Amino acid sequence: MLYLILKAAISGILVAAASEVARRHAGIGALIASLPLVSVLGMIWLWRDTGDPDRLADHAQATLWYVLPSLPMFVLIPAMLRAGFGFWISLGAGCLLTFGLYLMTMRALH
């Protein structure tokens, strides 16, 4: 249980750090947020938990295919915000778009 709490704390600190930096410097905060920190941490935790190179390779490859459908969200949200839509509407539309693209990706991969 302590290990789970440690994993959650480290992951949470990284997210909090990215958001705090973004409050002061949007570009640097975006750079931190765009780093594949969650993916790298996930791979570290998976390797520590299993030591299985095939499982880790499958995980890394699948991560690539799920990153791709998330990218259009980062085009839609700023476009909607600049067009005058509210934050929650823009975020919701971006999440719905990503969800739909995830479903299409899952269908294509399986």
Q: Each residue of 7-34: pLDDT tens digit? A: 888 888 888 888 898 899 888 888 887 7
Q: Encoding tokens for residue 16? A: 């909090």
The 3-class SS string of 49-98 reads HHCCHHHHHHHHHHHHHHHHHHCCHHHHHHHHHHCCCCHHHHHHHHHHHH
Per-residue pLDDT at 17: 86
Per-residue pLDDT at 110: 80
Q: What is the mean pLDDT of residues 84-100?
A: 97
Answer whether residue 1 shows pLDDT above 80.
yes
Q: Say which residue, 86 or 19, is predicted with more confidence.
A: 86
Helix 26-34, helix 2-24: angle, nearest 10: 150
Q: What is the pLDDT of residues 34-75, one digit of tens each?
A: 778 888 888 998 999 999 999 999 999 988 898 999 999 999
